[in-house]
Every structure is written in C-alpha cells, then in structure tokens.
Copies of this chain bind each other. A is one copy, B any other.
Amino acid sequence: MNQLPLQGLVVLEFSQYLSGPSAGLRLADLGARVIKIERPQGGDAGRRLAIKDLWVEEDSLLFHTINRNKESFTADLKKEEDRELVKKLILKADVLIHNFRPGVMEKIGLDYDSIQDWHPRIIYAEISGYGKEGPWKNRPGQDLLLQSVSGLAYTSGNAGDDPVPFGLSIGDTLCGAQLVQGILGALIRRHKTGKGARVEISLLESLIDFQFELVTTYHASGTLPQRSGVSNGNPLLGAPYGIYATSDGHIAIAMMNIHELGKHIGCDDLLTFDQADVFLKRDLIKQCLAAHLSQRSSAYWLALLHEHDLWAMQVFNWQQLSEQEGYRRIGMEQVITTAGGQQITTTRCPVRFNGERLTSKKAAPLLGQHTKQITEEFTK
C-alpha cells in the first residue's frame, strides 16, 4: 500500500448526522486520524437515526456506514473539566470540523477566534444550514429542507408533477465534499504560510453551487426552468434527453441528434422534426420517441444505439446492478467487521491512488471507545 495522502494528520470531528461525518470519513479514508468528539449521553445523534429500521448492535446501520474508520472520544462540553481536556486534544490537532448551529461553539469558547489565540495553525471547518447570518440562520439545516428551499425540487420529475426531491441526501454529500476541498486547500496553504484558516460552508451554498446552470440560465433568460412533460431528465436540456419505457424495462437516452437517432432506430416520426426544435417541441418529440421505444425490448434498442456509438444505457435497480460484471469490476464494496463481531458490506473511498483502491478495515467506534487511550496519549 502507498503512503496515504493525509497520513499523520489529526482531525477532530464535532459533528452529527451526515454532512460533517461524511467529510470526516473522506479525510479518514485519505489517511487522516479522525476522532469524533461526542456527548457522553447518546453521542452523535446519527447513532439513533435508522434507515429502513436497520440496526447493528446498539447503533443504526447508517451510523456504522458513515463513521467507520474513526475513533470516539466522549466529553461533556458544558463541563469546564471536559472542555480543558478537549482543548488539549485541539492543540495537537490539525483540523477541527463542526456542524453545530451558529452560536453553539462560541458559547463554550471553542469558536475559531478563541482557538486561534492559542493554536494559530488550526484549520477550523464549519458547516451550517443556511449560513451564519440572515433570517434562516436558526432554521433546521436538514437535507430535504435545503433541497426544498433551494429550488432543487423543481428539477426532477415531469412538468405536471408536484415538486420532487432527490431521493438521497445530496446537500449533505456535496457540502461534506466541498468542505473537504476547503480543508485540504487550507492545509496546502499552511505548508507555505505556516498559518491556519477558517473554512466555512453551508448546505444552502452547496446546493446553489450545484445548481450553477439554473442560476445562470435564470438570470440570462429571465424565465424559470421548465421540467419536460415527458421523460424529464434535466429541465434545461432538449429532446431526447431522458429515461424511456421499452417493452421489457427502461433505457436512458442522453443528448444526440434526433435525425441520427430516428434513422438508426427506425423512428420516421423523428425525421419530421427540425433539430433546431429540440427545445421548443421537446415534449412532442419525446412523445413520438416514447411511443416507438415501447414496442421493442431494451436489448434490441441498445444494440442498435451502441452499434452507432449513440449515448444510451440500461436502467438498473440495485439488484440488477449488483449482478453486472461492470459493477463487480469496479470493486466498490468492502466488508467491515464491527466491534461486536458483525460483518457489514459497505462502500470504499471512490478515489484510487497510484492504482490502488483505498479500503479500510476499521469499523465505526462504540461511543467513547477511545476516550481513555486518547486521554493518556494527548495529555502526557
């Protein structure tokens, strides 16, 4: 195995649920030592947040998945004695991440300005829901709510549908990923300048960044993006972009010339439209295509489309995907053995480094599992 990129760095994670912990997980997989600082009573609230009602030993499966490869240190930050101990940990840390609501870290004297006085090299990374000022600063910074506020729910689904949220926590994931970018950038800067930095992001800023195309087209066109009435794939793209039913399943068709498409799949109706009309007559064109594709199987159409290198693929659910050779070959799964001896099949870090996949066998920590050991190590 390579020397991992972040080997030797210590990260303290004062974080709950998904956004902060997903940043911590990525830093851990890249080689950092990540220590969760948790309340003695219950710890990270994510330990109790179950997906599909699945639990592993005392914690939710979700917690195990997003907190593997970390250590746990318990401290009651309301107690002076525990705070002093935590400050000793901070003094030896390179990075601190928190996703508390604005004001919480200030109240206990662990805000950036206070820490910077005695540890100017710290990289202090903060996630909020809606930024630290303005009318929404104290609103709950939860993924679905941010999707809803940020306009994102009007990008998926068809024109006639109610707003449709993305079915996974896109805000948490992007925000965590962007925080990692900021943290690593700050570490690179510290190499040159010797100085730490404060890195801030909010779920709202992450989701606006994600919608850069919508912001820019909204201002340039003055009109709202319109979801397609048929097989919407992206409200800003013309026909044929979308997912279509075939006689035995579904296929996805990305951007391509509609005449070329019509010719190769034998859909003469498409030839009656002008390529320049793929925006204006989007739904009409897609209706013709949908009617045509419904008559034969996915395999039939994909053979024709791939023969001409047109951009189309199957639509799989999780069971179908996991049976594909193309899925197995990327080797994204790894098996973790928990502290209690149970085995969990989960994902690895998606980045490969010098040809090697970054896996880690270390399971999520029990609450406070490393408190004693870390106390000895950091206070001697």
> Interface of A with B (CB < 8 Å)?
2-8, 26, 30-31, 49, 51-54, 56, 61-62, 64-66, 130-131, 133-136, 139-140, 142-157, 162-170, 173-174, 177-182, 184-189, 191-193, 197-202, 204-206, 208-221, 224-225, 227, 232-238, 241-243, 245, 250-255, 279, 306, 309, 311-322, 325-330, 332-333, 344-347, 349-355
Contacts and interface: CB of A to CB of B under 8 A. Distances in A.
B311 A169 contact: no
A355 B212 contact: no
Given A156-B157, A163-B250, A167-B235, 14 more contacts: A5-B188, A65-B216, A149-B314, A154-B317, A162-B250, A164-B167, A177-B181, A182-B353, A188-B188, A191-B191, A198-B353, A206-B350, A218-B318, A218-B322
Contact of A351 (B61, B199, B232, B235): B199
Contacts of A314: 148-149
A192 to B, nearest CB: 8
A375 to B, nearest CB: 28
Contacts of A309: 140
Given A65-B212, A140-B254, A170-B170, A185 B6 contact: yes
Contacts of A219: 333, 344-346
A304 to B, nearest CB: 15
A235 B317 CA distance: 12
30 contacts: A5-B185, A5-B189, A56-B220, A64-B216, A131-B326, A136-B326, A144-B252, A148-B315, A151-B317, A151-B321, A152-B167, A153-B243, A155-B167, A156-B156, A156-B167, A167-B227, A168-B210, A173-B210, A174-B177, A184-B188, A185-B353, A197-B354, A200-B352, A208-B330, A208-B347, A215-B318, A215-B333, A218-B318, A219-B333, A224-B319
Nearest to A53: B279
Contacts of A245: 162
Contacts of A174: 173-174, 177
Contact of A144 (B163, B241, B352): B241
A260 B187 CA distance: 45
Q: Is the interface of A mostly helix, strand, loop or mixed?
A: mixed
A145 B218 contact: no
A148 B212 contact: no
Contacts of A62: 213, 216
B162 A164 contact: no
B209 A254 contact: no
B326 A135 contact: yes
B178 A208 contact: no
Contacts of A350: 178, 201-202, 205-206, 208-209
A155 B166 CA distance: 7
Contacts of A315: 148-149, 153, 163
A322 B214 CA distance: 11
B66 A212 contact: yes
Contacts of A214: 168, 318
A321 B135 contact: no
Contacts of A325: 134-135
A252 B134 contact: no
A318 B151 contact: yes
Nearest to A315: B148
A254 B218 contact: no
Contact of A198 (B151, B333, B354): B354
Contact of A326 (B2, B134, B346): B134
A185 to B, nearest CB: 3
A347 B169 CA distance: 22
